[in-house]
Amino acid sequence: MFYYNITFLKAKFLLLYLITRFIIISMRRKTKAVLVGKVKIGGLALVSVQSMTKTDTRDIKATVRQIRELEKLGCEIIRIAVPDYQSALSLPRIKKSIRIPIEVDIHFNPKLALESIKQGIDAVRLNPGNMTDKEPLIEIVKSAKRARIPIRVGINSGSVRGWYRSALRHEIVRRSGPAYGISPANKIPSKQSQILSRAALEYIRFLEFLNFHNIMVSLKSSDVISTIEAYRELSTRCDYPFHLGITASGTIIDATVKSSIGIGVLLLEGIGDTIRVSITGPPEDEVRIGYKILESLGLRKQGLEIISCPTCARCKIDIVRITEKVKSRIERIPELSASGGSAFGRKDKNIKVAIMGCVVNGPGEAEDCDVGIAGGQNFGFLFKHGIRIRKVPESKIVSELIKEIKAI
């Protein structure tokens, strides 16, 4: 009877999960698919998580070390800034030492884009705000076509406004007409979101004019609302996959809140194909938070999820210590971690664990998880697959939880 109940509950969880996933996936915006190395972006592929190195690209050892740490956490694409020739020349050695594809980040100097493509990278990000000359752009497009790699049109609020306004006032319109530049019929948009989306569209139209369609787009502003509105607007005007992010979003708390809202709202509306959480801080946190956003929306599963209560006066066990200990023990157990050290647990199983302080919400949350604990006076009731299985003293809660998680 006990095992019958467990099997029934497991089947119920699985069915609910599959229905939720189906609803979320079927609501996603249909886009063209683009390949960055072996990672598919758009075309209903899983939303991927990417980050950016924060080392000097010329320091190959440090850059590779950082990327390998990010790979362990599940980073799927790495962006690398290429501010000079020596950085471009470092790329083959970096690429040889890592597993994930490289997107180079190029500003101002088109020759660095050409050199990076020559060195065998997987995608190139151009900033329309500082890469405007037609002739070099044509060369980059030719080169990307030959290498069969995509270009990301990466708009940033900090660099596009001035370009957009001066482009409208000056030569691009006169020289190129509607083929590139702002169509004379368009007025200068007043809202930042309109500037971002229209500037991207003008750049996209020029790439299309060159018969180039291997395109991804990002429209990042440091303002969450402008970012959301810009992506919404552009989503009705093209079907290229979107890279989502909030730029210059600050240190960890600010960045987490802004990114979760900005990226989360768009993903819930079905918009977005790959994400990067920008943080003034370690890139490892960018990947961790990126996955947490996707997990929260049911778009990705990275193995283990722990829910824990905030504790209050009713709590008679040390929930903070227990939660931290369970997390750190899991990270150190190879068979429970994605790569012998990932914070996200094993990828082949989705395990949800509840660590709750008392009987108010504890039993309910614990019953809804694969494994859970609901605290009492210096003890906890242990739950597995919705059923209370035993009472354990506080000193044994961590080890008993780990034992039951391992057994799943």
Q: Residue numbers of the site for ligand SF4 (CB under 6 A)?
A: 309-312, 314-315, 356-358, 360-362
- Whose CA is closest to 376, among 300, 305, 317, 296? 317
**Residue 155 or 309 having the CB closest to ligand SF4:** 309
Supply the minimum distance, in Å, between the C-beta of residue 363 and ligand SF4: 10
CA 40 to chain CA centroid, nearest Å: 14
Sheet containing 371-375: give its strands across. 304-308, 351-356, 371-375, 379-384, 387-393
**Residue 274 or 308 having the CB closest to ligand SF4:** 308
Supply the minimum distance, in Å, between the C-beta of residue 352 and ligand SF4: 16
Distance separating the N- and C-terminal Cα atoms of the chain: 19
Supply the minimum distance, in Å, between the C-beta of residue 374 and ligand SF4: 8
Supply the minimum distance, in Å, between the C-beta of residue 365 and ligand SF4: 8
**Residue 97 or 311 having the CB closest to ligand SF4:** 311
Supply the minimum distance, in Å, between the C-beta of residue 364 and ligand SF4: 9
Supply the minimum distance, in Å, between the C-beta of residue 359 and ligand SF4: 7
**Residue 241 or 380 having the CB closest to ligand SF4:** 380
The CA-atom distances, in angstroms, between 327 and each of 303, 306, 309, 341, 345 are 13, 8, 14, 11, 9
Category of 81 on φ-ψ map: left (φ > 0), alpha (ψ -120 to 50) or beta:
beta
CB-based closest residue to ligand SF4: 357
The neighbour count for residue 43, using CB atoms within 10 Å, is 15
**Residue 130 or 361 having the CB closest to ligand SF4:** 361
**Residue 97 or 361 having the CB closest to ligand SF4:** 361
**CA neighbours closer than 13 Å in the CB half-sphere of residue 116:** 33
- Whose CA is closest to 244, among 42, 54, 108? 42
